[in-house]
Amino acid sequence: MVNGGLHEVDVPVGTTLADALRDVLGLTGTKIACGEGHCGACTVQLDGVPVLSCITLVHTVGEREVTTIEGLREHPLVQAFVEADATQCGFCTPGQIVSAAALLAATPRPGHDEIVHAMSGNLCRCGTYPKIERAIEAVAAENRGG
Amino acid sequence: MELRQPSSLADVDGGLPLAGGTEVVPLLRDGLVEAETLVDIRAVVPKGVSGTTIGAGTLLAELEADPEIPSALREACRLAASPQLRSMGTIGGNLLQATRCWYWRLKYPCFLHGGSTCHARQGEHREHAIFGNEQCASAHPSDPAAALLAVGATVRTDRRELPIGELYRLPTEDDRNVTALEPGELILELEVPRPEASHYLKAMDRARWAFPLVGVAAARFGDGVRLALAGVAPIPWALDSADALEQATPLPGTAYKVELARPLIRRALDAIA
Ligand SMILES: Cc1cc2nc3c(=O)[nH]c(=O)nc-3n(C[C@H](O)[C@H](O)[C@H](O)COP(=O)(O)OP(=O)(O)OC[C@H]3O[C@@H](n4cnc5c(N)ncnc54)[C@H](O)[C@@H]3O)c2cc1C
Ligand code: SF4
Ligand code: FES
Ligand code: FES
């Protein structure tokens, strides 16, 4: 399942989830930077939990639900990132939003330490971390009802 | 390549075990391991914590949040890797991760790869070892392994039980492996005693999310204290006492690790006093 739709992909064993999403399903919002588990650019959710699609073999995904950035188009974080000016080159942004959405789903009002801990696997070469935190806090504040 | 997904231990028949794949997938891609058959062992290796037993398939993310396990192990899991990796990686796979030595990762024909010299000893070795480094100077990257060594954990495989200290061996001329596992042997469970107090501290290059330059685990059972270090030798390294640090054999580029370890050991001992 990807973003609510069922897909069957026919690719050789060894193909990663990231490659299957991008090259087979055309979901190119998921980015690949390091390809080795270091940077978090390729983060997607598997049953709601952020994982690295560049080192996940697509054949091990099975029936689990994959959520990519394309599945989070309507998420308030997207607007919050824009308003907080939390992207520069934008390459890390999809992964950041996927991780942040999972954090907010689990913890609607995360504190500073929780945000830093949950977001620490998403690196940003452009150094937008403070703005990303502000964007997450803005959505958390809405969760608080204002 | 073929992927098998056995549903019981009896159906496992050779092949390269794949748990979370966080280590296996990059190693396969870089040609550092080769396999015709991958065996997804997630359905056959126990997971979860029950009393003092931890299934080898338990995720680091579960252990970092488990209030029952020794604090050194919980903290070591919390400080390991990144949130995504901890949600994918198992404790069993973590204990068996390969070295991060970049000469090895770049396939230099070094001692650990079966060659005759250690390129790191003569070359770049800031992240490398201060103990057991005569032939291979790599530094074992596992935080949880040091914590498990300090608390005296036992490893149960599909063939035997062994103290975690005996899971690891320094590579020798005749055998370049750093673990004592036989081909195809699977780690099933860890038996983790409960110390009266335990603690884990980690020095790294970034405030979060980096391999340990030095990790220090300390555990107290009654009057006895056990210390174990990560990132200082090709395998997790037990120290008989804080003074044993003075027997280190650092390389020019790793002497700083001795100075880094000294205050961490003192602080870890204070924390469990
Ligand atoms: C970028 C990066 C940073 C990291 N940082 C840290 C860090 O700071 N500290 C730290 O401690 N770790 C760190 N790690 C290591 C990470 O925690 C491990 O990769 C992970 O725990 C491995 O678990 P896995 O289930 O994904 O193993 P896999 O990749 O599936 O397997 C790893 C190895 O173990 C074998 N194996 C797995 N399970 C079993 C079993 N039950 N029995 C027998 N063999 C088995 C596999 O065949 C393979 O050889 C990092 C990893 C990456 C990629
Ligand atoms: S430290 Fe070990 S792995 Fe690295 S180059 Fe030397 S022998 Fe090879
Ligand atoms: S591209 Fe997957 S972690 Fe960097
Ligand atoms: S905005 Fe450029 S990497 Fe984060």
DSSP state string for A71-112: GGTT-HHHHHHHHTT--SS-SSHHHHHHHHHHHHHH-SS--H
Of B21, B26, B29, the CB nearest to A60: B21
Is A25 within the bounds of a domain?
Answer: yes
CB contact under 8 Å between A60 and B40, yes or no, is yes
Which residues does chain B have within 8 Å of residue A125's beta carbon, measured at their own beta carbons? none
A58 and A108, same domain (yes or no): no
- Residue A94 lies inside a defined structural domain of this protein: yes
pLDDT digits (tens, 9 = 90+) for B10-53: 999 889 999 999 999 999 999 999 999 999 999 999 999 999 99
B262 shares a domain with B148: yes
> What is the tens place of the pLDDT at every residue in B244-255?
999 999 999 999
pLDDT at B205: 82
- The model's pLDDT over A37-47, given as tens digits with 9 standing for 90+, comes to 999 999 999 99
Statement to judge: residues B60 and B34 lie in one domain:
no
What integer pLDDT is reported at residue B94 of this predicted model? 98
Q: Reply yes or no on whether the pLDDT at B206 is more than 80.
A: no
pLDDT surpassing 90 at residue B221: yes
Q: Are residues B109 and B229 in the same domain?
A: yes
Q: Spell out the residues 6+ positions from residue A91 whose beta carbon is closer than 8 angstroms to its own.
A: A31, A33, A41, A125
Residues B17 and B39 in one domain: yes
Per CB-CB distance under 8 Å, the chain B contacts of A11 are: none
Query: Both B18 and B83 in a single domain?
Result: no
**Pick from B182, B83, B250, B270: which is nearest to B260 by CA?**
B250
* Residue-level pLDDT at A142: 86
Binary contact (A118, B38; C-beta < 8 A): no
pLDDT score for B271: 97
Report yes or no: B38 at the A interface, CB cutoff 8 Å: yes
Residues of B within 8 A of A55 (CB-CB) are 21-22, 25-26, 88
- The answer to which of A5-9, B126-130, B185-189 has the lowest mean pLDDT is A5-9
Tell me the chain B residues in contact with residue A49 when contact means C-beta distances shorter than 8 Å. 61, 87
Q: How confident is the model over A79-132, as pLDDT tens digits?
A: 999 999 999 999 999 999 999 999 999 999 999 999 999 999 999 999 999 999
- From B16, B90, B100, B105, the mutation candidate for ligand 1 (largest count of ligand atoms within 8 A of CB) is B90
Q: Indicate the pLDDT class of residue B208, thresholds 50, 70 and 90.
A: low
C-alpha span between A119 and A128 (Å, rounded)? 12
Least Cα distance to B137 among B148, B154, B123 occurs for B123
Q: Are residues A109 and A45 in the same domain?
A: no
Domain hosting B34: range is 1-44
User: Is residue A93 in a domain?
Assistant: yes
CA–CA distance, B269 with B72 (Å, rounded to integer): 12
How many domains, chain B? 2
**Do B18 and B109 belong to one domain?**
no
3-class DSSP string for A101-118: HHHHHHCCCCCHHHHHHH
Give me the interface pTM, i.e. the ipTM.
0.94
* CATH number of the domain that residue B231 is part of: 3.30.465.10
- Whole-model pTM? 0.95
* Interface membership of B28 toward A (CB under 8 Å): yes
Q: A34: nearest CA in chain B? A: B26
Residues A87 and A125 in one domain: yes
A110 part of a folded domain: yes
What pLDDT was estimated at residue B210? Answer: 84
Rounded to 5°, the CA angle B132-B74-B199 comes to 60
Percent of chain B with pLDDT over 90: 96
* B74/B204: higher pLDDT: B74
How high does pLDDT run on average in chain A? Answer: 94
pLDDT tens-digit map of B99-154: 999 999 999 999 999 999 999 999 999 999 999 999 999 999 999 999 999 999 99
Q: What is the Cα–Cα distance from B23 to B176, expressed in whole angstroms?
A: 19
CATH of the domain at A93: 1.10.150.120
- The answer on B182 and B144 residing in a single domain is yes
Do A50 and B2 lie within an 8 Å CB cutoff? no
pLDDT of residue A145: 60
> What is the domain range of residue A34?
17-70
How far B22 CA sits from the closest chain A CA (Å)? 6
Q: Is residue B9 domain-shared with residue B144, that is, in the same domain?
A: no
A68 close to A101: Cβ distance less than 8 angstroms? no
C-alpha B254/C-alpha B219 separation (Å) is 26
Count other Cβ atoms within 10 Å, centred on residue B210. 16
User: Mutation test of the interface with chain B: which of A42, A60, A112, A122, choosing the one with the most B Cβ atoms within 10 A?
Assistant: A60
The pLDDT, as a whole number, for residue B207 is 64
State whether A85 and A114 are in the same domain.
yes
Shared-domain flag, residues A38 and A93:
no
